[in-house]
């Protein structure tokens, strides 16, 4: 609901003309601290595109999407012009509802105001109002939605008379939550009134929580005395909110078509009550516009409807909404149709069919906007909540999901995807083609420059992949075809991008989602150039990045010199983007909800990545204490850094190796410099993902050799290709699966193309071969297989491995080799004794092990906070794994995120884990943590943890100690 306080309203404004009125509106927003001065131009630019006049003497000026960068906080200012202003579209305006919106909140405000416009004399009352309270009352009056839909109908009820039908209808209203028992009791005392034409009515306003109309019809024809009994209506009355429902009833009776309700099904009953005649021609069509039928598409629809020369009505096909004239803009907007909702158009007469076809075609084509097909199974049609402008409280810690440790204090920079506005059609294809070519060239040059600046690593790899995407001839061809069919360069390009991205998503659903995001990223770069919209540029000074969600590619592109922290509205703690944030050492909290996206840029923020908390606009006291903690943290880090090359041991000297997790072999040297005693997990899929097609043998050898050389005798634990789940590989598409995390992923997928696995194993064995001359340092190679569920899978993979060992001359391949499995699936932990007899080692992937043990998606935006690896069920599986391995003299590592959790480290050591592999940045801190306790303490902690029944209990118990 639009909630206005009196401070939001300015009475008695005056302006020479509409431009002056807009300037006043901009000033009012600026004075309220909602926008910066640049927003004024945005208001004018939006008005130049099309009038924001809404009807009933109200206009709703708002800025263009590009001007949103000037919005500091979402809000509205209402300006009353008692004399009225001649608006540029010929209308007269008395009230401006001026909106500063950071996303599409104005759509909801608009939708609410359309209800205001329905009231008689609203323009005069707004003009004459002499108090702010009166204006607020007129604009903010809550809209009570009266109810009439399939759930309020009780058709074919086995009743014997009108009273039983009345009671059945009342009971239906109670089940639908519209009335309480008192209502049913009063209905029971009533004798239904005869309305004529076989219809009867009972009505009451006792115990009504929502005005509603129910209808009960009999299972077999009945009569009441001499009168027919087709059905009994039951009206739950409330104030004047039920008047619309009564009107519908009266219209039905006036049309003389009440008999059509006899034996009718719900769709027919709702159609007749919506005002649709039984002889009308109807057509159903789905709204495809991303933001539903908002002002611009609604205007187009109205124009198309007006051009048909026949009366066309439209209603939401689902629910019991009334049909409105498709030629009335406010009525059409007032339908509040969202993307995916079907509309039902109706018209009478001979030309009805052609007219409805024309209207439905216009809707399908997007009413002037680019639209994508609707896929029911992938898109939810839940009504979206009305936006209430509910700012985040200042100086109050808010909860999110902890994703990467550390504390950050810096101003916010909210990454908002820019919106582009452009004409769909263009008259000169040659000009459009040239514009597209220029934008593509410029985009490529930009990417090339960025690749140069990135100086290698994951960022450079991702940007080069973008470069490759940008030069894809098929994409160019698709865009050119669009241009030759009359589309503008922008529309044709974006359509080509969306089609390609969509095709990728459809192919493998979540598996390829991230590559689709990359495509859109590339697409936006070019679109920005075509529309001359600057992509949001973060400030040059340190900031905390706030975004809806970040894919691994976004995180890898972050400028770590300036990004002090990450806060996302969505995402989970063990999603790969969170893992990358840890790898980059950026404190992060995820899953904070949409509210964080409404934060104004530059708002000071404290972000606690350890606890998943954030506080906006902290008080001086809170800031001082956070700064103190930050200083302590830096001191601890400095001490840990100093001691990073000391061997990892507990206080009493118990040895636990600390290795690094890497996704990029170029970072191996850096890991060693950070004190890593080896690489405990090389996620080789990231190497595959950085190439546009599967890297060949030579490329892989070079990659792995880089890491092994840098390790200088320290062991490399390389995991074979682990794609699927949340790690897509564009050139290895997987058929669409309902449940990709339980589908073809990890070793299961790899074994479907054993030749790929074989090439990888061969490359690893060659890369770890003794250096030329056969002397020098050892090159220990550990290979592990991901997502193994039992011995069968291990043996299949080992057969390939053993064959290779036999085939390859010993001098040309690694000699210090072990083959192990990851323990990520509960079955593998439960069967650890059988596996331990044949593998060389285990490495526990606590991210997936927790996911599969607790049945919580590791990236789930709401649930992943509960996906805690310190859950006693997970700890027991680790205990079983360690016991089985040690019984066979094999070692066990932990390479999931739990390995760097300060609370979990003593527990893991106490359980007997021999190696911890953590992100390279965490190596010094994990080593420092080991020095804080001795083995006896660790064992006591493990025992205590195992004795608990929930993860919270484990954390509580360990904290108390």
CB of 582 to ligand PEP, least distance (A): 11
Selecting among 106, 242, 294, 871, the annotated active-site residue is 294
Q: Which candidate, 132, 152, 150, places its Cα nearest to that of 140? A: 132
895 is catalytic: yes
- Based on the number of CB atoms within 10 Å of its own CB, is 792 exposed (0-12), middle (13-18) or buried (19 or more)? exposed
CA distance 338 to 379: 12
Q: Which residue is nearest to Mg ion (CB)?
A: 848
CB of 873 to Mg ion, least distance (A): 17
Nearest CB to Mg ion, comparing residues 211 and 826: 826
CB of 667 to ligand PEP, least distance (A): 16
Residue 896 interface partner, choices ligand PEP, Mg ion, none, CB cut-off 5-8 Å depending on type: ligand PEP
CB of 400 to ligand PEP, least distance (A): 21
Going from the C-alpha of 16 to that of each of 12, 22, 96, the distances in angstroms are 13, 11, 15
Q: Of the listed pieces 319-327, 608-616, 816-824, 942-950, which binds Mg ion according to CB under 5 A?
A: 816-824
Nearest CB to ligand PEP, comparing residues 700 and 720: 720
Nearest CB to ligand PEP, comparing residues 470 and 874: 874
SS3 assignment, position 919:
strand
Nearest CB to ligand PEP, comparing residues 524 and 858: 858
Going from the C-alpha of 167 to that of each of 186, 219, 235, 236, 533, the distances in angstroms are 10, 15, 12, 13, 62
Nearest CB to ligand PEP, comparing residues 315 and 576: 576
Selecting among 13, 154, 178, 895, the annotated active-site residue is 895
CB of 683 to ligand PEP, least distance (A): 5
Helix%, strand%, coil% for the chain, nearest 5 = 45, 20, 35
CA gyration radius for the chain?
33
CB of 908 to Mg ion, least distance (A): 17
Nearest CB to ligand PEP, comparing residues 108 and 824: 824
Nearest CB to Mg ion, comparing residues 292 and 869: 869
CB of 756 to Mg ion, least distance (A): 19
Give the H or E element holding residue 245. Answer: helix 243-254
Residue 544 interface partner, choices Mg ion, ligand PEP, none, CB cut-off 5-8 Å depending on type: none
Q: Which candidate, 675, 587, 639, places its Cα nearest to that of 932? A: 639
291 is catalytic: no
Per-residue contact string for residues 768-807; x = within reach of Mg ion by CB under 5 A: ----------------------------------------
CA distance 917 to 650: 16
Name residues contacting Mg ion, limited to 144-183 (CB under 5 A). Answer: none
Selecting among 13, 62, 94, 466, the annotated active-site residue is 62
CB of 510 to ligand PEP, least distance (A): 14
Residue 743 interface partner, choices ligand PEP, Mg ion, none, CB cut-off 5-8 Å depending on type: none
178 is catalytic: no
CB of 948 to ligand PEP, least distance (A): 22
Going from the C-alpha of 288 to that of each of 298, 338, 362, 364, the distances in angstroms are 12, 8, 11, 7
Which runs of E-coded beta strand occur in 687-728? 716-719
Residue 108 interface partner, choices Mg ion, ligand PEP, none, CB cut-off 5-8 Å depending on type: none
Per-residue contact string for residues 823-862; x = within reach of Mg ion by CB under 5 A: -x--------------------x--x--------------
**Token code pair at residue 42:** 């945005």
Nearest CB to Mg ion, comparing residues 845 and 859: 845
Residue 846 interface partner, choices Mg ion, ligand PEP, none, CB cut-off 5-8 Å depending on type: ligand PEP
Give Cβ neighbours of residue 183 (< 8 Å, ≥ 6 apart): 170, 173, 174, 204, 206, 207, 208, 236
Nearest CB to Mg ion, comparing residues 657 and 848: 848
Residue count of the chain: 961
Q: Which candidate, 115, 127, 77, places its Cα nearest to that of 99? A: 77
Residues near ligand PEP, by CB under 6 A: 681, 683, 722, 824, 845-848, 895-896
Q: Where are the alpha helices (DSSP H) in 58-161?
A: 105-117, 122-128, 132-140
Q: How many positions of this chain bind Mg ion (CB under 5 A)?
A: 3
CA distance 909 to 229: 80
- Based on the number of CB atoms within 10 Å of its own CB, is 537 exposed (0-12), middle (13-18) or buried (19 or more)? exposed
Residue 895 interface partner, choices ligand PEP, Mg ion, none, CB cut-off 5-8 Å depending on type: ligand PEP
Buried-exposed string 454-490: b where 16+ CB fall within 10 A, e elsewhere = beeebbbbbbbbbbebbeeeebbebbbebbeeebbbb
CA distance 675 to 639: 13
Residue 677 interface partner, choices ligand PEP, Mg ion, none, CB cut-off 5-8 Å depending on type: none
Return the half-sphere exposure (C-beta side, CA atoms, 13 A cut-off) of residue 322.
Answer: 18
Selecting among 576, 667, 860, 871, the annotated active-site residue is 576
Residue 868 interface partner, choices Mg ion, ligand PEP, none, CB cut-off 5-8 Å depending on type: none
88 is catalytic: no
Asked if 685 interacts with Mg ion (CB under 5 A), we say no
Name residues contacting Mg ion, limited to 584-613 (CB under 5 A). Answer: none
CB of 818 to ligand PEP, least distance (A): 18
Nearest CB to Mg ion, comparing residues 483 and 825: 825
3-state secondary structure 290-338: CCCCCHHHHHHHHHHHHCCCCCEEEEECCCCCCCEECCCHHHHHHCCCC
Q: Of the listed pieces 37-45, 461-469, 698-706, 822-830, which binds Mg ion according to CB under 5 A?
A: 822-830
Catalytic residues: 62, 294, 576, 895
Q: Which residues bind Mg ion (CB under 5 A)?
A: 824, 845, 848
């Amino acid at each position: 609901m639009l909630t206005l306080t009196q401070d939001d309203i300015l009475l008695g404004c005056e302006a020479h003309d509409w431009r002056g009125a807009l300037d006043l509106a901009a000033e009012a927003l600026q004075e309220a601290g909602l926008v910066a001065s640049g927003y004024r131009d945005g208001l004018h630019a939006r008005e130049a595109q099309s009038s924001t006049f809404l009807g009933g003497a109200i206009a709703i000026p708002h800025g263009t999407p590009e001007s949103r960068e000037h919005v500091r906080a979402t809000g509205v200012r209402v300006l009353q012009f008692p004399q009225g202003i001649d608006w540029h579209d010929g209308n007269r305006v008395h009230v401006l509802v001026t909106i500063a919106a950071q996303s599409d909140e104005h759509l909801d405000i608009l939708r609410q105001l359309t209800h205001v416009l329905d009231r008689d004399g609203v323009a005069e009352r707004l003009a004459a109002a002499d108090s702010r309270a009166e204006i607020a009352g007129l604009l903010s009056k809550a809209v009570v939605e009266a109810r009439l839909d399939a759930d309020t109908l009780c058709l074919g009820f086995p009743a014997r008379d009108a009273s039983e039908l009345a009671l059945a209808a009342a009971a239906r209203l109670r089940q639908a939550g519209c009335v309480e028992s008192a209502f049913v009791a009063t209905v029971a005392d009533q004798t239904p009134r005869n309305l004529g034409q076989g219809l009867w009515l009972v009505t009451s306003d006792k115990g009504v929580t929502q005005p509603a109309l129910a209808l009960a019809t009999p299972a077999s024809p009945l009569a009441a005395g001499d009168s027919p009994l087709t059905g009994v209506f039951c009206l739950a009355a409330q104030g004047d909110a039920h008047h619309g429902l009564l009107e519908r009833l009266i219209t039905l009776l006036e049309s003389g078509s009440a008999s059509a309700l006899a034996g009718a099904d719900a769709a027919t009953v709702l159609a007749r009550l919506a005002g649709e005649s039984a002889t009308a021609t109807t057509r159903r069509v789905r709204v495809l516009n991303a933001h539903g039928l908002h002002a611009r598409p609604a205007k187009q629809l109205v124009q198309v409807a007006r051009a048909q020369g026949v009366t066309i009505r439209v209603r939401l096909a689902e629910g019991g909404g009334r049909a409105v004239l498709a030629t009335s803009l406010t009525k059409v907007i007032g339908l509040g149709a969202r993307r995916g909702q079907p509309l039902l158009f109706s018209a009478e007469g001979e030309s009805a069919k052609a007219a409805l076809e024309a209207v439905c075609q216009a809707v399908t084509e997007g009413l002037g906007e680019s639209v994508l097909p609707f896929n029911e199974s992938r898109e939810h049609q839940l009504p979206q909540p009305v936006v209430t402008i509910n700012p985040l409280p200042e100086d109050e810690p808010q909860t999110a999901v902890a994703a990467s440790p550390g504390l950050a204090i810096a101003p916010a920079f909210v990454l908002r995807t820019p919106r582009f506005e452009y004409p769909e059609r263009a008259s000169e294809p040659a000009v459009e083609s040239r514009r597209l070519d220029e934008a593509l060239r410029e985009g490529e040059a930009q990417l090339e420059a960025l690749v140069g600046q990135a100086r290698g690593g994951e960022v450079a790899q991702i940007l080069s992949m973008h470069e490759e995407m940008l030069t894809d001839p098929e994409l160019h061809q698709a865009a050119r075809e669009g241009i030759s069919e009359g589309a503008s360069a922008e529309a044709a390009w974006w359509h080509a991008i969306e089609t390609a991205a969509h095709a990728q998503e459809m192919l493998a659903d979540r598996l390829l989602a991230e590559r689709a995001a990359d495509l859109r990223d590339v697409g936006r770069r070019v679109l920005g150039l075509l529309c001359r919209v600057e992509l949001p540029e973060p400030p040059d000074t340190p900031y905390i990045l706030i975004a809806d969600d970040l894919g691994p590619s976004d995180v890898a592109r972050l400028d770590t010199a300036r990004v002090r922290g990450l806060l996302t509205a969505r995402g989970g703690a063990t999603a790969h983007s969170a893992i990358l944030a840890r790898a980059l050492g950026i404190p992060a909290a995820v899953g904070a909800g949409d509210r964080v996206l409404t934060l104004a840029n530059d708002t000071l923020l404290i972000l606690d990545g350890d606890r998943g908390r954030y506080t906006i606009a902290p008080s001086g006291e809170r800031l001082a204490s956070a700064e103190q903690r930050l200083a302590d943290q830096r001191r601890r880090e400095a001490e840990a850094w100093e001691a990073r090359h000391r061997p990892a041991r507990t206080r009493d000297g118990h040895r636990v190796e600390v290795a690094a997790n890497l996704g990029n072999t170029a970072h191996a040297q850096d890991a060693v410099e950070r004190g890593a005693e080896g690489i405990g997990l090389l996620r080789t899929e990231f190497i595959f993902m950085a190439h546009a097609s599967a890297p060949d043998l030579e490329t892989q050898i070079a990659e792995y050799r880089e890491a092994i050389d840098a390790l200088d005798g320290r062991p490399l634990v390389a995991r074979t290709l682990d794609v699927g789940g949340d790690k897509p590989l564009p050139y290895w598409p997987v058929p669409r699966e309902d449940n990709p995390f339980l589908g073809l992923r990890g070793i299961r997928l790899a074994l479907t193309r054993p030749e790929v696995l074989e090439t990888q194993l061969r490359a690893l064995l060659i890369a770890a071969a003794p250096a030329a001359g056969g002397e020098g340092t050892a090159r220990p190679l550990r290979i592990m297989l991901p997502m193994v569920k039992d011995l069968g899978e291990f043996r299949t993979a080992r057969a390939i491995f053993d064959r290779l060992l036999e085939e390859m001359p010993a001098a040309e391949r690694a000699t210090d080799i072990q083959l192990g499995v990851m323990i990520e699936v509960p079955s593998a932990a439960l069967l650890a004794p059988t596996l331990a007899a044949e593998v060389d080692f285990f490495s526990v992937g606590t991210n997936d092990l927790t996911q599969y043990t607790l049945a919580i998606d590791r990236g789930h935006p709401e649930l992943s906070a509960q996906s805690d690896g310190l859950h006693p069920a997970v700890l027991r599986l680790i205990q079983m794994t360690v016991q089985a391995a040690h019984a066979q003299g094999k070692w066990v590592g932990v390479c999931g995120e739990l390995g760097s959790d300060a609370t979990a480290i003593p527990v893991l050591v106490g359980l007997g884990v021999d190696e911890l592999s953590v992100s390279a940045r965490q190596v010094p801190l994990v080593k420092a943590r080991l020095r804080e306790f001795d083995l006896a303490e660790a064992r006591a902690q493990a025992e205590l943890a195992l004795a608990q029944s929930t993860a919270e209990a484990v954390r509580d118990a360990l904290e108390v100690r």
